[in-house]
Structure 1
């Protein structure tokens, strides 16, 4: 391979120029990424505050005995997830049957990587009717709340609300709520609030311990009256949308800065930009 080499003084000048420019860009990238993380922390704090304290202002509080919640409104109840809904987990059809279980499939099959801490509209992989009939998979209805049980600190506790009927694999715990007690969207918001705490309950000798369906079922959550649950979720829908817009703008800026850095380096080293 032949490389075009400019005179040494141009090489030095180009290197100095790129070093200065890339340092500027890297500084901007670092600040922008830090800003994104701060917005994410703000979102987490807003959710936690709303689902543990409500949105009705000052009122009488009580110690509910739930570690992650602290003081809560005195009239709120507490219940284990297993007592306010049915929990289950799915399965993985045999990979050796790839052609008949996965090819040209249409049934959404949700795995931990599909859980986005929000609404789940689709899955990265699908299975066939034959796969469903030949495995321990079952269809979970729209409105099911899912929690990631495997994958270590970066994955355990990720959650999502199914927006259509889906199957899941064994790494996902599915919760079908009793809607007379708790709304699925409110449960989702509570799971987001307690997400940082799941690893305290993880067990196993592997490098990345897991939680189990039983651990999920025994986790305590807060139960405000249904009308108050709706107030809280309506409030969070608006507040989180505002924060998500800010995060999206910052993420777009990161992409633009990374693209600019690559194009700048290319233009300088190929002589398309004089320095």
Structure 2
């Protein structure tokens, strides 16, 4: 008996079988499968973007067969908690061998209870503790089977699962509403920057046609310049590799890698990486079409595969950063990118130098930058508060599951 549970605990392998069925190599090459990889399952248990393959063209890890009531749990990168319940799957649904497929034993473990008990904090902590490896922690399926789970009587399991489902649905509805608010805030943030960059701050200012499709009409007193007259390429290399490593993302622009809370590939040596000074425009050549560009805030180095440009005195670095971060500019540079596939387009200097920029007077650029900073700060405060409330709701859902499956929560008989 565990001190944190009024129910006895039983090792999972006695309540569920593991990896019962797999595809064999003699499957018809033209057999069509729907495939779930580890990256398709998020930490809340939702499955995204199921892929379709002919068996012959499917990844070699596409082998595990799943049935209704199964629960899949990732055995690699276990800290991501990629766990999902399988409900009414098509006959051709296959999951990666990176998952352990748990099948509740008939008359022993309620399938709905199984999907929740595998999210009990003690169980999740045990999975992580038994995982080996630093950057890619993994666990054997047999190890998962040895972990003990709370084990209430079978009749109670269904009641507990129904109660959790009802309460979780209420919480999930609140989370979904707050997520919609976050989407609206993100759109508002983009609109603040785009309106100021493309139209200025004076609604009474006379406009003229810019002659540039993505800009349309602009204030009549603004200039239009091609990038080649506004920037010069910087291709200076680090001799020691000791400078601050900078990353270039479509989400955060140019930021020090040390501020990124993610596992990123690190080269053995950064000698020869490109120098990038505060105020320079850095562009991720491969992901420019997604908007991966921005002005550096600090001195550092970037990948030699990126491009670095120094703006002329006609442009404020903060104005440059704001302009390249609006989605319509990313769409514009796509026109000048090269590549056969849209997802493999690259923006080289000769393409970037073909783009046109609106150039307001420098004092107006200062005003635009201040306006964007003030407007987005208000949006960001509301976004932060909303994100915090979502975190609290997720913690509440996790606590609810933990209390219910361990018997620490009174469940009304009506449940």
TM-score (norm 2): 0.56
The structural deviation recorded for 1:177 is: 0.9
The structural deviation recorded for 1:226 is: 0.6
The structure 2 residue matched to 1:203, chosen from 338, 343, 351, is 338
The structural deviation recorded for 1:76 is: 0.5
Summarize the Cα distance change of 1:107–1:81 in structure 2 as closer, same or farther, 3 Å threshold.
Answer: same
**For the Cα contact (< 8 Å) 2:237–2:275, is it kept in 1?**
no
Higher relative contact order (CA 8 A, sep 6+): 1
Q: Which residue of the partner structure matches residue 96 of structure 2?
A: none
What are the equivalent positions in structure 2 for 1:206-225 lying under 5 Å apart? 206=341, 207-225=343-361
Summarize the Cα distance change of 1:182–1:74 in structure 2 as closer, same or farther, 3 Å threshold.
Answer: same
Summarize the Cα distance change of 1:115–1:16 in structure 2 as closer, same or farther, 3 Å threshold.
Answer: closer
Root-mean-square deviation (Å): 2.8
Q: Does structure 1 residue 13 correspond to structure 2 residue 147?
A: no
Q: Does structure 1 residue 184 correspond to structure 2 residue 184?
A: no
2:235, 2:170 → 1: CA distance?
A: 49
1:149, 1:157 → 2: CA distance?
A: 10
Q: Which residue of the partner structure matches residue 394 of structure 2?
A: 258
The answer to which of 185-194 and 37-46 deviates more is: 185-194
Number of equivalent positions: 257
Q: Secondary structure at the match of 1:251?
A: helix
2:170, 2:235 → 1: CA distance?
A: 49
The structure 1 residue matched to 2:377, chosen from 241, 244, 249, is 241
Q: Secondary structure at the match of 2:245?
A: strand
What are the equivalent positions in structure 2 for 1:53-132 lying under 5 Å apart? 53-88=199-234, 106-113=242-249, 116-117=252-253, 120-121=255-256, 123=258, 131-132=270-271
The answer to which of 193-202 and 11-20 deviates more is: 193-202
Q: Does structure 1 residue 163 correspond to structure 2 residue 297?
A: yes
2:395, 2:408 → 1: CA distance?
A: 16
1:26, 1:73 → 2: CA distance?
A: 46
2:370, 2:150 → 1: CA distance?
A: 61
Summarize the Cα distance change of 1:230–1:38 in structure 2 as closer, same or farther, 3 Å threshold.
Answer: same
The structural deviation recorded for 1:208 is: 3.1
Summarize the Cα distance change of 1:4–1:141 in structure 2 as closer, same or farther, 3 Å threshold.
Answer: closer
Summarize the Cα distance change of 1:11–1:256 in structure 2 as closer, same or farther, 3 Å threshold.
Answer: same
Q: Any gaps of 5 or more consecutive residues in structure 2?
A: 1-10, 12-147
The structural deviation recorded for 1:192 is: 1.7
1:90, 1:110 → 2: CA distance?
A: 15
Deviations 1:189-242 (A, max 9, x none): 111223441444443124432322222222111001111111111111111111
**For the Cα contact (< 8 Å) 2:227–2:352, is it kept in 1?**
yes
TM-score (norm 1): 0.82
More helix by share: 1
1:239, 1:106 → 2: CA distance?
A: 37
Q: Secondary structure at the match of 1:143?
A: coil
Q: Which residue of the partner structure matches residue 49 of structure 1?
A: 195
**For the Cα contact (< 8 Å) 2:247–2:255, is it kept in 1?**
no
Q: Secondary structure at the match of 1:111?
A: strand
The structure 1 residue matched to 2:274, chosen from 138, 141, 147, is 138
Q: Larger radius of gyration, structure 1 or 2? A: 2
**For the Cα contact (< 8 Å) 2:249–2:293, is it kept in 1?**
no
